[in-house]
Amino acid sequence: MGRIYAVGIGPGDPELLTRKAERIIRSVPVICAPTGNADTSSYALSIVEQFIDRTRQEVLVQVFPMRKEQEGLSAFWEKAAAEVAERVRQGKDVAFITIGDPFLYSTFLYLYRIFREKYPEIPVEVVPGISSIGAAAVAAGIPLGMAADRIAILPTTYEDDELRKTFLEFDTVILMKVNRAFDRVYALLKELGLDRKAAFVRRVGSGEEEVVFDLGSLVGEKLDYLSLLIVRKG
C-alpha cells in the first residue's frame, strides 16, 4: 500500500515551494494535477513541471469542473479518488498537487472527504503550502494584520448585504474567486469609500502576475479566476 500526499505548491513561483513539497514531487511515482477544464492545461502542473521526470513519473491530469451548481460534480471527485486509490493499492505513492495551501478552499478538500469516508485504510499526508493570500499581500505591499486587527477571508459568493457587513466589521478583507463578482464588489467599495483602499492581485508569483490599485480600470473586464482582492482600512 502506498500513500497519498496532498502537496501545497504555493501560488505560482516554483521557488515558493517548500523543500518538503519539492522532495515529494521529485520522488513519487505518480503526480495528480487538477484542472478546471479538459481543454485547458493545469496551472498547478505548470508550477512544478521543472521538478518532474516524465520518463519515470506518471502525470495524471484530473478534471474538476468549476461551476456554482454542485449537482453532478461529485461524479468527477469520485472518479479522481478512484484513480488515485487504484495506484495507491498497487503500492505507489501519489502526490496530489494543489495551488497554495491544501487546507484553504482547495479542490483537494473534496477528495479528502471521499478518501476518509470510502478509503479510510489509505494514509493521507498533507503538506502545507504558501497560500495565494500571503503572497498577494506581499506583492501588493499590504500587510494583512497588525496588533488587534481583524481579518476576514471569504469567497465572493455572498450577497451585497453580507459583504457590506464584512467590510464594516473587519480591518482587512480578502475576497477569493472575485473575478465574476468584481463589478458588484467595486460598486460596494465605492459606496463605502473603500475603493482606494484595495488591491486586485492576479496570478501572484507567476510570470503573469499583476497588481492593480486603480480598481475602476477593471470594471466591465473579463477577469482571471486566479485573482483575489485585498481590502484594508486605515
Ligand X SMILES: C[S@@+](CC[C@H](N)C(=O)[O-])C[C@H]1O[C@@H](n2cnc3c(N)ncnc32)[C@H](O)[C@@H]1O
d(CA 18, CA 126): 13
- Residue 75: alpha-carbon gap to chain centroid: 21
Out of 87, 197, 203, 232, name the contact with ligand X by CB under 6 A: 203
Q: Does 142 bind ligand X (CB under 6 A)?
A: no
Out of 227, 230, 231, 232, name the contact with ligand X by CB under 6 A: 227
Subset of 25-84 contacting ligand X (CB under 6 A): none
Amino acid letter for position 138: V
d(CA 191, CA 169): 15
* 48: its cell numbers: 512544478
Q: How many residues bind ligand X (CB under 6 A)?
A: 23
Instruction: Give the pairing of strands 227-232 and 172-176.
Output: antiparallel
Min CB(225)–ligand X separation in Å: 5
Min CB(89)–ligand X separation in Å: 28
d(CA 228, CA 183): 13
d(CA 3, CA 121): 10
Q: Does 93 bind ligand X (CB under 6 A)?
A: no
**Strand ranges inside the chain, DSSP E:** 4-8, 30-35, 58-63, 94-98, 124-127, 151-155, 172-176, 198-202, 210-212, 227-232
Out of 2, 4, 5, 11, name the contact with ligand X by CB under 6 A: 11
Q: Does 205 bind ligand X (CB under 6 A)?
A: yes
Q: Does 232 bind ligand X (CB under 6 A)?
A: no
Q: Does 12 bind ligand X (CB under 6 A)?
A: yes
Min CB(215)–ligand X separation in Å: 15
d(CA 202, CA 226): 6
Q: Does 226 bind ligand X (CB under 6 A)?
A: yes
Binding part of the chain for ligand X, among 31-39, 75-83, 182-190, 201-209 by CB under 6 A, reads 201-209
Q: Does 131 bind ligand X (CB under 6 A)?
A: yes
d(CA 230, CA 144): 8
Q: Does 114 bind ligand X (CB under 6 A)?
A: no
d(CA 201, CA 211): 5
Q: Does 201 bind ligand X (CB under 6 A)?
A: yes
Min CB(233)–ligand X separation in Å: 20
Binding stretches for ligand X (CB under 6 A):
11-12, 98-101, 104-106, 131-132, 136, 176-177, 201-205, 225-228
